[in-house]
Amino acid sequence: MRDKDTEKDDKIVSLTETLGDEIDDGEPQEEDFDETMRRHRARLRAGTLLLAGVAAVVLVYIFVIRPSRPYALLDEVYSETIPYAAGQNYVNMGGGILQYGYNGAAYYSVDDKHAWSVVYSMEDPKVAVCGDWALVYDRDGRSAIVFSAQGGKAGEISTNQPIRAGTVSGYGAVSLVQEDGLSNDIMFYSKEGKKLDILIHTMAGESGYPIDICLSPDGQMLIASYVYIDSGVMQNQIVFYNFDTTKNSGTQTVGAYRKYGDTLFADVAFISNDRAVACGDGKVVFYSLKNRTAPAELAVIEPQSTITALTYSASGVSMAVTDGDSVQNHFIVTYDSNGKELYKVSTNFTICDMQYTKNGVYITGPGSLLYLDKKGRSFFKGSLETSVDKLNNAGSSPAELFIIGGGKYSYIKLVRR
């Protein structure tokens, strides 16, 4: 038994010694494990840094490099034919284009395509637009119609006196200049065509003759351009009116400017609620209406060259100027809403129409398009498959365009290579 116990003890001792040897060998294995983990963590850090670098490169490409690349191609998403009649004109309205003429109006948009059409009869239809609202009036006639982009005809107006000019606000309110011999009345109407209890009465021999008017988008202010005679010489004045009944009672003249000599301002406009412009022959004036009881002149732009085309929006004013009679040697000069020059670039592009949006300036010629970005860089110059009567870039993307021309409307996209 002893021998067996001794043998058993020997075996136990031998096993213990063996386990001891394995335990002693565990110390270097733990060091190997730590080294392995260190290397693994290092590889993870390297992989993370690599992924971050790739992500940074992708972001730079998406937000810096790719947007700085010009567009090279046109992709027509869809197009459809539209009815055409003599005397039709086109104007941008909201996210689409309004077609108007002697016998009616129709509206086309990216979302609704042919949204609506209205039949009427006018001898000399003219239009005023503000956002999603439009006023079509019969100049020297006695009728006007208010339209909304979403619903079509909203109201109709009949007057006792001939209509000389008209304007509409961003909410559909309307103002009309009505002529009565030696006097003129600027009268106001709701979008439904109801006459409002607001009237500006002017005498040609006193304040002058109103040749253009414009309501602010919120309908609270009006800018008017008057022609008057001073010592036998025709002069022009710009007058501002404030109709904010929360601060004023009735009609109030809050500003008048008469220092522009014989410049004729045939086009006045609010480009936003607190910015207005007066555009004349060789002169553009910017005004601030932040203080609505005291309009302030911001800048007077007097190009030394002839203004051949002009467009304005909430972004400011962009114009084409040229020396002499050449129509192939233009400069495109663009200003912000304060009248500060942003850029001036030369081009030999034949200009038929211009649109200034938050994305840049779009210039159309006979079957051609030139797009300048916000810095004046040429981001597309090329031919279109159709002639262009009107182009609208009303969306958030500079590459999405809605065009009417060649007897059809088209939705196209500019594409980079």
How far apart, in whole angstroms, are the C-alpha atoms of residue 31 and residue 29?
5
- The reply to whether 284 falls in a domain is no
Please give the average per-residue pLDDT across 203-212, as a whole number: 85
Residues of the chain with pLDDT > 70, as a percent, come to: 85
- The reply to whether 19 falls in a domain is yes
- The reply to whether 100 falls in a domain is no
**15 has pLDDT over 90:** no
Nearest to 297 by CA among 355, 356, 237, 252: 237
How far apart, in whole angstroms, are the C-alpha atoms of residue 269 and residue 216?
8
How far apart, in whole angstroms, are the C-alpha atoms of residue 230 and residue 258?
11
Radius of gyration of the chain (CA): 35
Q: Report residue 1 CA to chain centroid gap.
A: 107
Contacts of 360 (CB under 8 A, 6+ apart): 371, 372, 373, 374, 379, 398
Residue 5: its pLDDT value, please?
47
Q: Report residue 212 CA to chain centroid gap.
A: 23
Phi-psi region of 378 (alpha: psi -120 to 50; beta: other; left: phi over 0): beta
- The reply to whether 269 falls in a domain is no
> What does the chain come to in residues?
417
Residue 54: its pLDDT value, please?
67
Residue 84: its pLDDT value, please?
81
- The reply to whether 321 falls in a domain is no
- The reply to whether 53 falls in a domain is yes
How far apart, in whole angstroms, are the C-alpha atoms of residue 241 and residue 328?
41
Query: Is 155 within 8 Å of 190 (Cβ atoms)?
Result: yes
Residue 205: its pLDDT value, please?
72
- Mean pLDDT over all residues of the chain? 86
Note the pLDDT tens digit of each residue in 24-71. 454 556 667 677 777 777 777 777 877 777 666 556 555 555 556 889
- The reply to whether 11 falls in a domain is yes
Please give the average per-residue pLDDT across 193-217, as a whole number: 90
- Residue 15 domain boundaries: 2-65
Please give the average per-residue pLDDT across 385-405, as a whole number: 91
pLDDT band at 326 (very low <50, low <70, confident <90, very high): low
Please give the average per-residue pLDDT across 291-304, as a whole number: 93
Count how many domains the chain has: 1
- The reply to whether 58 falls in a domain is yes
Q: What is the DSSP letter of 71?
A: P
Note the pLDDT tens digit of each residue in 238-258. 999 998 866 554 568 898 998
**152 has pLDDT over 80:** yes
pTM tops 0.75: yes
